Structure 1
Amino acid sequence: MTVRLDPADHPWMTADSLRPVLQALEAARPGGSRFVGGCVRNAILGDPVDDVDIATQLEPDAVTKALESAGLKAVPTGLEHGTITAVSGGEAFEVTTLRKDVSTDGRRAVVAFTEDWDEDSRRRDFRINAIYANFDGQVYDPQNGLKDAENREIVFIGDADDRIREDYLRILRFFRFFAWYGSGRPDRDGLLACSRHKAQMETLSAERIWAELKKLLAAPDPGFALRWMWTVSVLETLTGSKFGVDTASRLPALEQAQGWDIDPLLRFMALLPPRVERAETIVAKLKLSNAEKGRIMAWARLGHGLQRGEGLGDEISEADLNAALYRDGAQPFLDRAILAWADEPERDLGDFVSRLKSWERPEFPVSGKDLIAQGYEPGEALGKELKSLENKWIESGFSLDRAALLDQIQSA
């Protein structure tokens, strides 16, 4: 079957920033370079194309020479794997020499360069990612990936166990691509191979695991992928528990119904028991950023020892809520409320969530300068008095103004 991507239907193929790169590669070796991977896959599926990758028979030195001769910047971003990043018009395009694996250890591979397109395709992960297209749009499909694209299937190239042994991150990639592009049931051989090798994910760096997991959770609806990860205990291997998969699976529908942006971190939090010690363990294991860690720990501390929906909505008084929001901020409450709503869809927390989203922290009207003006010296006594005034202000529902608070200042 002959398939062609018409450049007129795919503006990314003729973009002004990309054109000089294609011309430079063609001038160096006519017909020796092709689009590959996600850009071809997404174009065939009718999905947006974000990144353009190019495979070439030119070796890295020749790629660099061709780009620089055309006045383009060539950055050796992955030289040991044959990747040169071409910078054109402020955009980056990865150009990678055709490769074959020499040795692998489940985390990294030693490669040798080749000019054989079939050989290069055999070292890739999934058949759907091993589709090439020349610069005119003619598609080359050595691994039958077009059939998988048509059927929305994610199938390993060759033997699934062999592909996973080459890089254990492919376990997560299997579920990530299923979340984004698959339908129905995952490929049986791939699913069982992922289950057999899941313990080997412990050999991967935390950064690689978390980056891949976030991409999975960013899919429009990763629910089915998460359920299959739960079924074969891949999810338990990552988080240490089988908690929350139902809530995480329902969350995308709630996000869509409410018009909210996708929140991968909140989807991840749905998979964690709201216990401080459990949250500390998993954020340390996956080496989350300080901002991600801070948000998760604030949510865990607020919900520690409580059921998902306790202390939310009508269960918390106006005064207690305002005080808690002032002290802890709205985000931990918002995270708890949204997860509780996803956990119990019949419980409408819409008004409560809307209130949290629109909440603005009131500004305490008294400062240390005011106390110094009343005779306080900078130090512990000043800090205690300022905190006492702030507590009174909070207890008043933030109604006491500056004058009223200053009237209550104790003598220094």
Structure 2
Amino acid sequence: MAALEAVRPGGARFVGGCVRNAIMDRPVDDIDIATQIEPESVIKALEAAGIRAIPTGIDHGTITAVIDGKPFEITTLRRDVETDGRRAVVAFTEDWAEDAGRRDFRLNALYADRDGTVHDPVGGGIEDAEAGRVIFIGDADMRLREDFLRILRFFRFNAWYGAGIDADGLAACARQKEGLKKIAAERIWKELHKLLAAPDPTEAVTAMQDSGVLAIFLPEAETLDGLHDLRVSQTLAGVQADPMLRLMALIHRSANSVLAVSKRLRLSNAEANRLTMWAADNLPDVSGMNGRQLRQALYWHGKQAVVDRALTSGRDVRDLLFAVRAWKRPEFPVGGDDALAAGLKGPEIGQALRKLEEWWMAEDFQPGRDQLLERLGKLS
């Protein structure tokens, strides 16, 4: 801030989430700065002060300053010239009210000077932050047509900060929901992921379903019963559900559903694989397993799949989770070289080792290497 103030006194203010969270007495993670100074001059001012400046979004006025390894986004005040529901063409301005007027919600259009003085150009933002209200700036339908992703942001901010969903905003989201089909899948999943990471997103997700918004990008979420089951299990077990668990709780546990969701939301390979393992047909109901069955499931499917299936069961799985944490995967003590030495060739090797490993699992991993080699010899 000091480097920018040296160029133009009063020309830089903290903005958005850091101001909102300070008012709401929430942790402040990211610090963003808005300035009347244009990007090229911002870079010069930072470099003159010995601060690294990265033009991360210079066309849209954003420069990232890196101080002690921590990034700070500095964005020149802007006004929209043209919008198409996905992206905006902007022009720079020196008018704080113009910049505030193009933002999404009143509680996000707050600015603060270095001395802590808060500015609320559109009005109502301070009161919204204090009361936990997520209210669109101006005409809600217009804000949404400027950027349809704001539909999901409305529900995300309600999940994290809202104390009750604004009826007018919700109605606007319902009217504009088809616009989400214009938004890239990666952007939708990013917003949904943040929403599902909230301490309790149930009210927001329920409103998404009731308004028809959820069906636009997640038609597999026919009921929210699974979200309730997850909440029961996680509460009893004293663990926090993560966004992937909540996604599982929303969809039908089947290979077809998992494949459709993974493709539509363009999940990462790791995320898609986790969904696939959770939905595996050959993974039985883990909450009712005895010790031997649990060990077999853990060996074959892994800890993550077993825990995911347990927590989405809606049952008390505290003892099971304790057993999972204590379990260490045994190493199968026979390999391809042993099969070759036993006289097996080609496809016979994999088939024999698979049969041998399944027998070893059925025997609760008790047979040692000598016993396994003896049995392997009989398979050759």
Query: TM-score, normalised to structure 2's length?
Result: 0.94
Q: What code does the residue aligned with 2:308 have? A: D
The answer to whether 1:383 aligns with 2:367 is no
Q: Give the match for residue 47 of structure 1.
A: 26
Letter of the structure 2 residue corresponding to residue 361 of structure 1: R
Matched, 1:352 2:320: yes
Do the aligned residues in 2 keep the contact of 1:274 with 1:303 (CA within 8 Å)? no
User: Which runs of structure 2 are paired with 1:2-401 in the superposition (5 Å)?
Assistant: 22-143=1-122, 144-184=124-164, 186-249=165-228, 251-252=230-231, 254-302=233-281, 311-314=285-288, 316-341=289-314, 347-376=315-344, 379-401=346-368
1:224–1:249 contact (8 Å) kept in structure 2: no
CA RMSD of aligned residues (A): 1.9
Task: Provide the residue aligned with 1:407 in structure 2.
Answer: 374
Q: Residues 196 and 297 of structure 1: is their aligned pair in 2 closer, same or farther, counting only changes over 3 Å?
A: same
- The one-letter code matched in structure 1 to 2:321 is V
In structure 2, distance between residues paired with 1:312 and 1:386: 26
CA distance in 1 between partners of 2:350 and 2:243 (Å): 40
CA contact (8 A) 2:230 2:313 kept: no
Question: Aligned-pair distance for 1:254?
Answer: 4.5
8 Å contact kept, 2:234–2:311: no
Counterpart-to-counterpart distance in 2, 1:275 and 1:374 = 41
Identical aligned residues as a percent: 51
Tell me which stretches of 4 or more aligned residues in structure 1 moved more than 6 Å: none
| 1:253 to 1:124, Cα distance in 2 relative to 1, 3 A | farther
CA offset digits 1:228-258 (Å, max 9, x no partner): 1111111122211343423325635653553
**SS of corresponding position for 1:409:** helix
Other structure's SS at 1:95 match? strand
Post-superposition offset of 1:25: 0.7
- Letter matched to residue 181 of structure 2: E
Q: Is the 1:59–1:113 contact (alpha carbons within 8 Å) kept by the matching residues of 2?
A: yes
Provide the secondary structure at the position in 2 that maps to 1:100: strand
Deviations 1:309-348 (A, max 9, x none): x73333x45444433332222322221211112xxxxx43
Q: Is the 8 A contact 2:287 2:313 kept in 1?
A: no
**Distance in 2, Cα, partners of 1:258 & 1:318:** 19
Give the counterpart letter for 1:391 in structure 2.
E
Per-residue deviation, 1:35:
0.2
TM-score (norm 1): 0.87
Q: How many residues align?
A: 378
Q: Label 1:254 to 1:371 Cα distance change in 2 as closer, same or farther (>3 A).
A: closer
Query: Does the 8 Å CA contact 1:227/1:249 hold for their aligned counterparts?
Result: no
Three-state SS of the structure 2 residue aligned to 1:86 is: strand
The verdict on how the C-alpha distance between 1:250 and 1:406 changes in structure 2, with shifts beyond 3 A counting, is closer
